């Protein structure tokens, strides 16, 4: 191989390497964009979930407070229908 052929081969190899690096950089940028999109979606979803959990906690607290208040002021009051099994099944459920 002559010196000219070696130089030409080196240039072609360099161009191929540069193209591969450009392709890798583009793939990396695409992955970063997708990761950013997923991160935003997760943050938004987590915020909505926490907001609903907070609302659920306060609604449960209000119901328990009203039950206690009614029982304190009127111990004979019937808060629920005779068959309390459905209510008891909900009351015993603990939400994390």
pTM for the model: 0.54
Residue 79 lies in a domain: yes
Tens-digit pLDDT profile for residues 21-43:
999 999 999 999 999 999 999 99
Tens-digit pLDDT profile for residues 60-90:
999 999 989 988 988 887 777 666 666 667 6
Residues 50 and 95: beta-carbon distance below 8 Å: no
Tens-digit pLDDT profile for residues 5-25:
888 888 899 999 999 999 999
Give the domain range for residue 58. Answer: 3-91
Residue 96 lies in a domain: no
Please count the structural domains in the chain: 1
Residue 53 lies in a domain: yes
Residue 54 lies in a domain: yes
């Amino acid at each position: 191989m002559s010196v000219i052929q070696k130089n030409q081969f080196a240039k072609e190899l360099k161009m191929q390497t540069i193209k591969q690096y450009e392709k890798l950089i583009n793939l990396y940028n695409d992955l970063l964009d997708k990761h950013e999109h997923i991160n935003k979606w997760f943050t938004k979803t987590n915020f909505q979930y926490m907001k609903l959990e907070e609302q659920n906690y306060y609604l449960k607290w209000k119901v328990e407070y009203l039950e206690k208040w009614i029982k304190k002021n009127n111990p004979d009051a019937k808060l629920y229908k005779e068959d309390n099994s459905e209510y008891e099944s909900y009351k015993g459920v603990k939400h994390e």
